[in-house]
Structures are given as structure tokens and as C-alpha cells.
């Protein structure tokens, strides 16, 4: 077992994990943050996406020991029930959610994109989410949601990640 200390959704946390444990398992099983989904477990579907120091990464291919001292944001750390993040609100407003399994990863990928590129083209949005698979194939609505979020955030000046 190795000790790991990191920032999880803005709060310092510490745990002891086997060296081979991946971050998705640590997040879900030790911290009970089950918004992060484990789909393939092999880095192919994007459902386990979290933000690592603001960058979208796949937590199923990242060893927990590698996040020592770093900042991890899961979907639970984005918005609140009373005040959704603009990306979350846009997904709701355009009905971009079907089963919802891919949505946490999609939202976090979109937040990372909009932080880097507040005014992405449709092609850039599609490229950004190309590693996030939606089994319900709701891509058109998801793209529309990200476009709406980008437009609203440019209008209000709201930051991509808060
Ligand atoms: S569960 Fe991590 S990419 Fe599929
Ligand atoms: S909404 Fe079902 S997997 Fe995307």
C-alpha cells in the first residue's frame, strides 16, 4: 500500500492504496463518488473522465499514486443542485441526456474544452468529445448543448470551471 494525498473537489484528502489501483476505483470505492463512471476500464470510452489540474484525463488508466499533490475534479465537484454549472444546465436545457452514463465524462470534457477554447467550432467540439463514447448515440444534442453553454458563458463571462 502507498499513501497518496491530493485535492479532491477542492478538499485535501488522503488514502492508502495498492500501487496498481487506478484513480477511477479510488474515487468510486474509497470516496464513494460514483458520478465518475467505469465503462471499458481500458481507456477507450471516456466515461471515467475527470479533470486533473484542469485537464480532462481518463481515470481508469491513471494510477492513483500518480495524483500525489495534484488537484482532481469529478462531476460532484462541478456546480451544485441549486446552481448547475453552465455546461450542466445546457445539457438539461437541450435534453442532451438519455441514459446519462456518458454525461459526467462529456460535461468534464466540455468544461476543459471551453476553458481552452471559449468559442469552439462544431468541428472542434466534435473533435474534443471524440474520445467520449455515447452508447445512446445522442451526439447531436450533446454538441448543441456545448454550443449553447459556450454561447452563454461568453455572454455572461462565466468561467469554464468554478
Ligand atoms: S472507463 Fe475509462 S475510458 Fe472507459
Ligand atoms: S446518454 Fe447514454 S451513454 Fe450517452
Which domains are seen in the chain, by residue range? Answer: 2-77 (3.10.20.30), 86-155 (1.10.150.120)
Model pTM? 0.95
pLDDT for the residue 160: 52
Q: Whose CA is nearest to atom 3 of ligand 1?
A: 43
Query: Does 135 sit in the ligand 2 pocket, CB within 6 Å?
Result: yes
Kindly give the pairing relationship between strand 2-8 and strand 71-73: parallel
Query: Does 154 sit in the ligand 2 pocket, CB within 6 Å?
Result: no
Residues belonging to the chain: 162
As a three-state string, the secondary structure of 99-158 is: CCCCHHHHHHHHHHHHHHCCCCCHHHHHHHCCCCCCCCCCHHHHHHHHHHHHHHHHHHCC
For the segment 85-110, what is each residue's pLDDT rounded down to a tens digit?
Answer: 999 999 999 999 999 999 999 999 99
**What are the pocket residues of ligand 1 if the criterion is a CB atom closer than 6 Å to any ligand atom?**
38-41, 43-48, 58, 60
pLDDT for the residue 157: 76
pLDDT for the residue 24: 98
Cα dihedral across residues 75, 80, 82, 87: positive or negative: negative
Amino acid at each position: 500500500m502507498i499513501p497518496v494525498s491530493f485535492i479532491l473537489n477542492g478538499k485535501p484528502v488522503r488514502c492508502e492504496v495498492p500501487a496498481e489501483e487506478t484513480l477511477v476505483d479510488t474515487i468510486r470505492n474509497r470516496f464513494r463518488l460514483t458520478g465518475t463512471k467505469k465503462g471499458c476500464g481500458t481507456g477507450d470510452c471516456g466515461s471515467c473522465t475527470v479533470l486533473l489540474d484542469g485537464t480532462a484525463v481518463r481515470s481508469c488508466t491513471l494510477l492513483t499514486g500518480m495524483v500525489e499533490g495534484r488537484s482532481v475534479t469529478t462531476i460532484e465537484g462541478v456546480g451544485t443542485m441549486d446552481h448547475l454549472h453552465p455546461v450542466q444546465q445546457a445539457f438539461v436545457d437541450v435534453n442532451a441526456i438519455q441514459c446519462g452514463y456518458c454525461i459526467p465524462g462529456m460535461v468534464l470534457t466540455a468544461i476543459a474544452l471551453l476553458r481552452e477554447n471559449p468559442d469552439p467550432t462544431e468541428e472542434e467540439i466534435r473533435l474534443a468529445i471524440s474520445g467520449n463514447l455515447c452508447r445512446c448515440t445522442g451526439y447531436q444534442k450533446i454538441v448543441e448543448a456545448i454550443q449553447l453553454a459556450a454561447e452563454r458563458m461568453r455572454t455572461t463571462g462565466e468561467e469554464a470551471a468554478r
